[in-house]
Structures are given as C-alpha cells and as structure tokens.
Amino acid sequence: MTTATSLDQAFLADFHDTYQFGATPANGVDRQAGTREDGQIRDWFRERAIAAGMEVRVDSVGNLFALYNWDPSLNHVFLGSHLDSQPLGGRFDGCYGVIAALHAAQEINARVQAGELEPVHNLAVVDWFNEEGARFQPSIMGSSVVAGSMDRDKILATKDSKGISVKEALEDIGYLGTDVAPIPTAYAEIHIEQGRLLERHKTEIGAVTQSWYTQKLLVTVNGEQSHTGATYMADRHDALAAAAEIVLKTEAVVDTFPAEEIVTSVGQLTVEPNSPIVVPRQVNMVVDLRAHLRSQVEEARTRLLEQFKEIEARRHLTVLAQDYDIRDHQHYPLEGIELTEKAAAEAGQSCMRIETMAGHDSVPMNRIVPTVMVFVPSVDGVSHCEREFTRDEDLVAGVKVLAEIASKLVSGSLDAVEPGEAEL
Ligand code: HGY
Ligand code: MN
Ligand code: MN
C-alpha cells in the first residue's frame, strides 16, 4: 500500500497540473466538451494513465476509459466523472472526480500487486463525454449512452450553436473512438458538492442518498418584429419584454415553497433578430426547475404555464413551452451509502447523508449498476463559476475515501445489490 503522503502528493501534483488546460484569467477553466482544450486535457490524462500501466480505450461517443485489467475475464468497477467544464467554469467540477479516480485506482493497483487485495473485478477510470451540456445539449451525454437512456446516433448528430456536430467535434480532437467500452459492474463518483450544506454543517464527506427531481422547459416566445423608433407601444408584440416577465416569474415561483426546497433559473436565452432598432420577434430560453420533491417541480411547472397563458393574452403573442431533460429522483443504494460512511470513518473524516441538487454521471449509471456518490465541500457553495474552490485537505481526504470504497467494490461488496431505484 502506497503511504498516504505519497498518494496525497501525487494526487495534488496531478490535480493542480490540470488547471493549465483552458485556464481563464480569474482562476477558472473553459474546457467545453469537444473543444481543443477538452482534447488537450484528455491527451494529458491518457499519458498519465499509460504511465500508470493502464490500458486506454475510447468508445463511440467519446467516453475515455483507463483500465486495470487484472483478469481479462472479469468486468470492471467504474470510477469517474468528467473533464469538460462550463464556459468560464470552475477548476474542480468533474475534473476532481476524474483525477481522484485515477489516483484511487493506482492505490488499489498497488495493493493488488502487493498481494494485499484479491480483486473479483477489474477497475476502470472514466472521463465521461459532455457531462456539462453547455456546448451540446442535453447534459450528461456520454454516461447516458452507456446507461442506455440516450441514443448513440442521436447524440453524435447533435449540433452546437455553430452547427458543428458531436461527431465532428470528437473527430477534430481525436476522440471519436471505435473501442468497445468495458462492462460496468458498479460505479463510484466523487464530486464537489457545489452547494453549501457540508460547509454549513462543518462536515468533510457527503454520502449522497438521492438526486433531486429536475426538468427543463424549452420556451419559445413568438412576437412580431417592428421598428423600435416608429412603432407606438400599443402596436408592439415585443418577444423580449414578454421573455423578461417569464424570467422574473420563473424566479418568483419558488416564493410559495419551503425555503431551499426548490430552485429555478433561466440560464440560456437567445433573441431574434437581436438588432438594436428592431423590436424582437422571437426569444428562445431554457427554464431549469429542480426540487427535493417531484410534486414541487410539477406544481411550479403548472403555475408557470398558467402565467405564460396570461402573458400571451395580454401581449398578443405566443409562448410555447416544451418539457425537456426530465430526470427523475435516483435513490442511491443504501449499501453504497453505508460504504461511504464506513470509509469516511476509517479515514477519520466526518460524514453526513446529503441529496444532490446537481445532476451527475452517477444519475444514469445508478439506473444500470449499484452506484456510490460522494461529496467533498465547496467553499461558499459556489460552482459553475471561476470562484469555485475546495481546499486541498478536503480534496485529499476525498481521494482516500474513494480509494477505500473502490477497494470494497473490486472485492465484490455491492455484487448482490440492485442499482438505485428511480422514484415511480
Ligand atoms: O445538469 C447538471 O446539474 C450538471 O451540472 N450537468
Ligand atoms: Mn459535474
Ligand atoms: Mn457541472
């Protein structure tokens, strides 16, 4: 077993090394899926994996795997997350989980080579393609294809705002793979919390129990173009003014729910024709609704659709809303939660059970194999922002916990456990 300090130092050296890829002036990263920067960090990861004696594979939707194949007849425990980021995103979201997995895997390999561990499964570290869903929508693409909840060909044909397809982008960075993906038997992912509960409770490890219910609404407002100077106000059908009301109503709909149980936002909005002296004819926007309970999202959705009707009638225009990217609750198996709690206790780390408000690759994976999701604290609960930060000591503590969980998974601890249930 490598001594803890060498594991810590090797992990921190690698993790800090990743900051260079897509580095932004305010200490963030911009490494959107399939971009040159995404390709650069993947090349770097591939080199580190090969140097650690791993076999590297790339599948047909750009998922990147690094494998320890101790016995070619065995399937693989997966450890992973994602290297892609949001625009002007944080250095930790996703990338931490991949580098933590890479070093946890090396720790487990050292134990296997030293005869301290007899694995009944091989081990795979994975960088899932396009978890973030910034450039290509929806999010959580690569793991959803492996989990069977998204169609491979549809994903490859998905285009970004410049009309470039996933297939073309992957070809450009050399990651349109032809390898057969390994077969998962269990999955574990460590990730920054991106919220503020661990910090609020002064707790070092989060054992994730379930994901929040989430959905998006693709909203199109159709008004009419006119001259911003020559058209009387009564004659205007201003799609952007209507959209502005929708943005504020999306924010206000949470007011009638218990605090911190539901969150809503409009994160993406495009205006047509976007000319300074033309009243906008069309606005396309994405409404993001997430809550602790499915019923809360459904109630908020009903209220918003009623408000959209009122805006339509008053402003003599149309508002179309389409349900999109619906993710049911996923309950992580109790046995996996208890694995995290035991591993944290062994590592002398405080631990609490927590729900994830953000989506992760572990959500689709949780549908096909027993999945363990672990959090480390986020300073100020900030994420998807250059200010995102987690302290080195918390990162290192997480790697140790992940290594302990991985050692139990490769020893078959969850072999008799079903994947997490979706809330019916
Ligand atoms: O959708 C999510 O919550 C994730 O950040 N992609
Ligand atoms: Mn993430
Ligand atoms: Mn993210």
Residues 361-417 pLDDT 10s: 999 999 999 999 999 999 999 999 999 999 999 999 999 999 999 999 999 999 999
* pLDDT at site 269: 98
Cα gap 392→383, rounded to integer Å: 16
Residue whose Cα lies nearest atom 6 of ligand 1: it is 132
CA of 361 from ligand 1 middle (Å) equals 9
**In contact, 270 and 255? CB cutoff 8 Å:** no
Cα gap 60→180, rounded to integer Å: 8
Q: Which backbone phi and psi does 352 adopt, to 5 degrees?
A: -140, 155
Residue whose Cα lies nearest atom 1 of ligand 1: it is 359
Contact residues of ligand 1, CB 6 A cut-off: 131-133, 139-140, 358-359
Structure tokens at 231: 């058209």
Q: 336 falls in which pLDDT band (50, 70, 90)?
A: very high
Mean pLDDT of 6-21: 94
Question: Ligand 1, closest atom to CA 194?
Answer: 5
Q: In what order do the strands lie in the sheet with 213-222?
A: 262-272, 282-291, 213-222, 318-327
CA of 386 from ligand 3 middle (Å) equals 12
CA of 298 from ligand 2 middle (Å) equals 25
Cα gap 66→150, rounded to integer Å: 23
SS3 call for 107:
helix
Query: What are the tens digits of pLDDT across the range 189-198?
Result: 999 999 999 9
Cα gap 256→249, rounded to integer Å: 12
Structure tokens at 18: 């990743």
With 60 as the cut, is the pLDDT of residue 166 above it? yes
Q: Is 82 a known ligand-binding residue?
A: yes
**In contact, 375 and 157? CB cutoff 8 Å:** no
* pLDDT at site 4: 54
Query: What are the tens digits of pLDDT across the range 68-91?
Result: 999 999 999 999 999 999 999 999
From the CA of 212, the nearest ligand is 1
CB atoms within 10 A of CB 77: 31
DSSP state of 19: G
From the CA of 359, the nearest ligand is 1
With 80 as the cut, is the pLDDT of residue 1 above it? no
Closest CA to 384 of 133, 80, 54, 53: 133
For the entire predicted model, the pTM comes to 0.95
Percent of the chain with pLDDT strictly greater than 90: 96
Query: Which burial class, exposed, middle or buried, applies to 159 when counting CB atoms under 10 A from its CB (0-12, 13-18, 19+)?
Result: middle
Query: What are the tens digits of pLDDT across the range 358-370?
Result: 999 999 999 999 9
Ligand 1 site-directed mutation target among 129, 360, 362, most atoms within 8 Å of CB: 360
Domain annotation for the chain: domains and CATH numbers: 4-212+329-410 (3.40.630.10), 213-327 (3.30.70.360)
* pLDDT at site 420: 85
* pLDDT at site 10: 95
Q: Is 191 a known ligand-binding residue?
A: yes
Question: Ligand 1, closest atom to CA 360?
Answer: 4
